[in-house]
Amino acid sequence: MSFTPRGIIPAMVTPFNRQGKVSEDGLRGLVDYLMEGGVHGLFPVGSQGEFYALEREEKKKIIEIVLDQAKGKVPIYAGTGAITTREVITLTKMAEDIGVDAVSIITPFFISPTQDELYEHYLAIAKSTNLPILLYSNPGRTGVNLSVDLVVRLSKVDNIVGIKDSSGDMTLTAEYIRRTSGDFSVLAGRDTLIYGTLSYGGKGAIAATANVAPKLVVEIYEAYIRGDIERAKKAQANLAPLRLAFNLGSFPVVIKDALELIGIKVGTTMAPVKSLDKDKQEILRNVLREMKLL
């Protein structure tokens, strides 16, 4: 398959209104903000988008709005992860019918499949769709790891085209890159490791911080591709405080609070996760001020 995921793809938050419903105006505004920032794709209904809190019809609505607002200018990667193979296939079929360009599928969570079970899981999904598939490894959230051997096996499936690696383990990332072919895209999922992933031969990042600072995150990639290594390293260093600020609150509230602070209306997270208290809001405000986002 010729589709090659590359560049900076924001892992989009899902804007909610005061009633806890998907905010269409907020979502369209966020798409515009991100595209003005020069991003190379959009990734709705992922972990940062609170996919675990959304009903199927809400996921459908979000994907439809993002597709409509993007107007074909950048590829749309929809998150269609779930615990069971059956549900992933259903969600992937829905995304394919809507018209997305690719899907990203996180490993199952709560359960602990073997590597062989994971292979059969992804193979069945791949056979059920014509869409390009990005594997998504986030063992810190799911407790499930995709071994290098497994990723190598899956990379030989025609429409499995890459992996978002949120392990935070650069040795693992480097092995994914070293042992797969050049047309298999390894994308950083840990925003502090975008430059490192590129330097090992990765093709970009799916980045939560790109919701807030799309231009800065894009600069890491664009400067690197131009060969301006020092500028890429500087942009990565400038981004680090925002990613490290994730520790201020429960995932994934920090990015939503940061967006609200810079004037992008996205509401807050689904309960039980709450916005930061005043003291932590002030710390986050100072981070944004230092980054010249306020």
Six token digits for residue 228: 């301006």
The catalytic residue among 60, 77, 122, 164 is 164
Q: Residue with structure tokens 């997270």? A: 269
- Angstrom distance (rounded) from CA 63 to CA 60: 5
Residue pair 102/7 in contact by the 8 Å Cβ criterion: no
Q: Is 33 a catalytic residue?
A: no
Q: Is 59 a catalytic residue?
A: no
The catalytic residue among 33, 136, 176, 195 is 136
CA distances 27 to 111, 142, 287, 293, Å, are 32, 27, 24, 20
Rg (alpha carbons) of the chain, rounded to whole number: 18
Closest CA to 12 of 83, 79, 100: 79
Six token digits for residue 256: 């939503």
Length of the chain measured in residues: 294
Residue pair 221/204 in contact by the 8 Å Cβ criterion: yes
Q: Residue with structure tokens 């499930």? A: 144
| Residue 274, helix vs strand vs coil | coil
Burial of 181: CB neighbours in 10 Å, binned 0-12, 13-18, 19+ = exposed
Six token digits for residue 282: 């002030």
| Residue 16, helix vs strand vs coil | strand
Q: Annotate 142-183 with DSSP letters as a single string.
A: HS----HHHHHHHHTSTTEEEEEE-S--HHHHHHHHHHS-TT
Annotated active-site positions, please? Answer: 136, 164
